[in-house]
Chain A
């Protein structure tokens, strides 16, 4: 292995070690939890199924969900029809 190759592996190794150490320190501070709970905790939202205060919400609304999917499919068809030749 030449110096250029070694230096790359050393930089990558040092970066990886520093990042993993930082991750473990953060994990010790926050505790082990699922990805959604981790996000909720980070922004101060109640964990799991607890109710949050009002506001705009699509979650748990299948009709709205299907509606958006249908609109996106329709838009895709229109775009494909008129701009389809990439």
Chain B
């Protein structure tokens, strides 16, 4: 659930452009790989559409704990849609969210990178966990926690590298503040892990074929 909630203008134009360019490059690579691979599985396209809608909706819902937070469903996106379709989903969700005022335009690039890391790690972790753990709930839950931890680390890295305009904090002070923020975020990550676990168990019961296709 790492989503950078800073105003436009927090990063300099240079860093806004850097994160946007990297994000567009990664999405371009995903698009290229999708187009050059065999015809996409219609089931995957359908599930991608569903998780895009669900993720966009849940982005906008403030959960009244820890002073107000929102979930992302990025681990679920990674597990169900994979990193290629997942990167397009993340792009759409972040653009639509910025279009209704959730997150600044200038931060969309950085937020896409944060969410992409979550999607990618969830996808890998879920598949790796299958070797060690048989319960789908645990596979998905552990993958979600790992993904959201990495997402928080990427979020911290992006803010530390970019710096904040008009703020005169030492890197140490910034790191301390961001670490506390990430720790609170991770508390919410546990809720997201439970939700992801239950959804995966449910899908595994009614449509196990949607979980078996680990390849893209």
Contact = CB atoms under 8 A, between A and B. Distances in A.
Interface of B: 4-10, 12-13, 16, 31, 34-35, 40, 62, 66-70, 95, 99, 104-106, 129, 132-135, 137-139, 141-142, 145, 159, 164-169, 173-174, 177-181, 183-190, 193-194, 197
Contacts, number: 167
Interface in A5-42: 5, 7-9, 11-12, 15-16, 19-20, 22-27, 29-30, 32-42
Nearest to B4: A39
B32 to A, nearest CB: 10
Given A11-B133, A29-B180, A44 B187 contact: no
A16 B135 contact: no
Contacts of B183: 22-23, 25-26
A33 B184 CA distance: 11
A20 B187 contact: yes
A42 B137 CA distance: 33
Contact of B159 (A8, A15, A30, A43): A43
Contacts of A24: 187
Nearest to B105: A68
B137 to A, nearest CB: 7
